[in-house]
Amino acid sequence: MKKIAIFASGSGSNAENIIRFFENDPRNRVSLVLCNKPDAYVLERAKRLGVPALVFNREQFYHSDLILDRLKAEAVDLIVLAGFLWKVPANLLAAYPDRIINIHPALLPKFGGKGMYGEHVHEAVIAAGEKESGITIHHVNDRYDEGAAIFQATCPVLPDDTPDTLAAKVHALEYAHFPRVIKEFADSLPE
Ligand code: GAR
């Protein structure tokens, strides 16, 4: 059984969707949720779903081994960022080489980088007059949103779309594809 850890900073609707998906998978399980915001709704979801959670602050994330030690103690095999907004530090990248993946709510390499998250992305896509947006699932490296792409899916941006209506379309793509792509990735890793 491979163990998946999810990092999330906010609502956690993707985290919940992923946790539920793997409840029925004999090969993989979400065993830990990690969150940098004590009041994030993802923590309620994790509690309700019976998944342990670890809350941490910036100092612990960037200047201690608290998180790495917990991941090792739980024998976590891969890490999924689902709405997690901090850059991943070198100690985690080194401990999980090519085993950390992120979802971004646009078609990278456009509309990525620091500060490009959630509604800011959708506002930028609409402001740029794009005809298409979507999701990018990609490997994580030491630069925001620049790791190699694993999967993309697209949706149209219509003239009357607002950041909210575009977010809803992008979320639908996330829910439809992210768990399956994580599973394919997890199943491809050596035991
Ligand atoms: C998702 O749309 C995800 O793609 C995005 O945050 C949202 C989290 O929603 N991630 C980023 O913008 C990363 N740069 P959720 O908390 O409901 O899953």
Pocket of ligand 1 (CB under 6 A): 8, 10-14, 82-83, 103-105, 116-118, 121, 170-171, 174
Does the annotation count 139 as an active-site position?
no
pLDDT of residue 86: 93
Which atom of ligand 1 is least distant from the CA of 145? 14
Q: What is the DSSP string of 19-73?
A: HHHHHT-SSEEEEEEEES-TT-HHHHHHHHHT--EEE--HHHHHH-SHHHHHHHH
pLDDT of residue 143: 87
Question: Could you tell me the sign of the dihedral formed by the alpha carbons of 98, 66, 115, 17, in that order?
Answer: positive
Domain ranges of the chain: 2-188
Which atom of ligand 1 is least distant from the CA of 41? 16
Phi-psi region of 109 (alpha: psi -120 to 50; beta: other; left: phi over 0): alpha
Q: What is residue 187's three-state secondary structure?
A: helix
Give the residue, out of 34, 107, 174, with the most ligand 1 atoms within 8 A of its beta carbon, to mutate for a pocket test.
174
pLDDT of residue 159: 95
What percentage of the chain's residues is helix, strand, coil (to nearest 5)? 40, 25, 40
Residues contacting 30, CB < 8 A, separation 6+: 3, 4, 5, 6, 15, 18, 19, 22, 51
CA of 10 to the centre of ligand 1 (A): 8
Superfamily of domain 2-188: Formyl transferase, N-terminal domain (3.40.50.170)
pLDDT of residue 179: 98
pLDDT of residue 114: 87
pLDDT of residue 42: 98
Which pLDDT tens digits describe the chain residue by residue (191 residues)? 999 999 999 999 999 999 999 999 999 999 999 999 999 999 999 999 999 999 999 999 999 999 999 999 999 999 999 999 999 999 999 999 999 999 999 999 999 998 899 999 999 999 999 999 999 999 999 888 899 999 999 999 999 999 999 999 999 999 999 999 999 999 999 87
Question: Could you tell me the sign of the dihedral formed by the alpha carbons of 90, 93, 96, 100, in that order?
Answer: positive
CA of 14 to the centre of ligand 1 (A): 8
